[in-house]
Amino acid sequence: MKYIITNKDNEIIHISDTIGYQENGNILVDNGSLAIAKAPNEKMGVYEVEDVAEGICERKYCYTEEQGFYKNPNYREPEPTETEKIVKLQEQITDLQLALAELVEGGNV
């Protein structure tokens, strides 16, 4: 059994194996180790489902009882960090250096 917590836009904000509630109405998940605060007048959904398919993740997917799981039409992949950009550029430079070395060794230059 899994528990799906959604925000007012039906976006999945958390997936948990456990569910509980604090006296003030906050939702307790992950064996009580995390409390999800419910803002005043904020509509949140809590759903019990048999299983969550691989690839379903928070923010990227939505859930309703009527539609089940579906891709969030408003989701945008986060921009890569500066470190991720540098790593990718370093990988590209290495690939280009290897390709150039192969060309030079093969006598095609």
54 burial via Cβ count (<10 Å: 0-12, 13-18, 19+)? exposed
Instruction: Report pLDDT digits (tens) over 10-58.
Output: 999 999 999 998 988 889 999 888 999 877 777 899 999 999 999 999 9
Give the Cα separation of 12 and 74 in Å (integer).
12
Confidence grade of residue 108 (pLDDT, cut at 50, 70, 90): low
Determine what percent of the chain is predicted with pLDDT higher than 90.
72
| Mean pLDDT over each residue of the chain, to the nearest integer | 91
pLDDT confidence of residue 107: 61
Q: What pLDDT is stored for residue 83 in this prediction?
A: 95
